[in-house]
Copies of this chain bind each other. A is one copy, B any other.
Amino acid sequence: MRIPLERKVLNENDRIAAGLRERFQARGVFCLNLISSPGSGKTSLLERTLEGFDKSRKVAVLTGDIQTDNDARRLARFGFPVRQITTGGACHLDASMVERALTDIADDYQILFLENVGNLVCPTSYDLGEDARAVVLSVTEGEDKPLKYPATFHHADLMVLNKIDLLPYVPFQMELARENARRVQPEIEIVDVSCTTGEGLGRWRAWLEAQL
């Protein structure tokens, strides 16, 4: 009984997402949907990214969470428009949440980051009108995650391997993680970063600029 309704909800989501995508394309906006487990470092990656941007850059961020506006507060201090989407229980962002949150932001951003709810499963099914998806995997989580959550990695354009400063202390095999990601998505691009030490953030920024 569940499937028909889920399909209806997803069709409605796709309709709104298509509208968002059209708006973004008409204005030359690059929109990135960031997906990961809780605590993989999406917010830290955005902090380091915003920190590195010239204040004249036209950047906006929507950040999703079940509860709390912790992430919006962490991100707002860089001076760019940031809005918290508190889903109140929902395990993912959907296109209508994004549409609503954007009404409150001046329409001149050129880069839009959508930080999804921390969840490696459910966000995958919801198109938000984005141009690209990045999945963040931290080296403390284990290199089997692309195989265990294949849909999320299959639909990602980029895998950010985060927390590489912790590699000396965990049994994580970088090459195996990359192989696993490429097994489910052979075209995936991969950058290794540490949001703590800053290592690799240049490659992440280069990837981002190349998308604009």
Interface residues of A (CB under 8 A from B): 1-2, 5, 8-9, 37-39, 65-68, 70, 89, 91, 117-122, 138, 140-142, 144-145, 147-151, 163, 165-166, 169-170
- Check B147 against A166 for contact (C-beta < 8 Å): no
* Closest beta carbon of chain B to A87's beta carbon, Å: 9
Closest to A44 in B: B142
Q: How far is the CA of A151 from the CA of B122 in the complex (A)?
A: 17
- Check A68 against B144 for contact (C-beta < 8 Å): yes
A5: which of B5, B65, B91, B150 is its contact (CB, 8 Å)? Answer: B5
* Closest beta carbon of chain B to A118's beta carbon, Å: 7
Q: How far is the CA of A150 from the CA of B89 in the complex (A)?
A: 9
- Check B122 against A89 for contact (C-beta < 8 Å): no
13 new A-B contacts at CB < 8 Å, known A1-B9, A38-B145, A39-B145 = A1-B8, A37-B38, A37-B118, A38-B120, A39-B138, A66-B150, A67-B148, A67-B149, A70-B147, A118-B149, A119-B122, A138-B140, A165-B169
- How many identical chains are in the complex? 2
Decide if the interface of chain A is mainly helix, strand, loop or mixed: loop
- Check B140 against A70 for contact (C-beta < 8 Å): no
Inter-chain contacts of A91 with B (CB < 8 A): 91, 119, 121-122
- Check B8 against A67 for contact (C-beta < 8 Å): no
- Check A39 against B149 for contact (C-beta < 8 Å): no
* Closest beta carbon of chain B to A31's beta carbon, Å: 23
Q: How far is the CA of A99 from the CA of B198 in the complex (A)?
A: 48
Closest to A166 in B: B169
Q: How far is the CA of A117 from the CA of B149 in the complex (A)?
A: 10
Inter-chain contacts of A138 with B (CB < 8 A): 39, 140
- Check A163 against B140 for contact (C-beta < 8 Å): yes
Most chain B CB within 10 A, of A2, A38, A141, A150, is at A38
Most chain B CB within 10 A, of A65, A148, A165, A169, is at A148
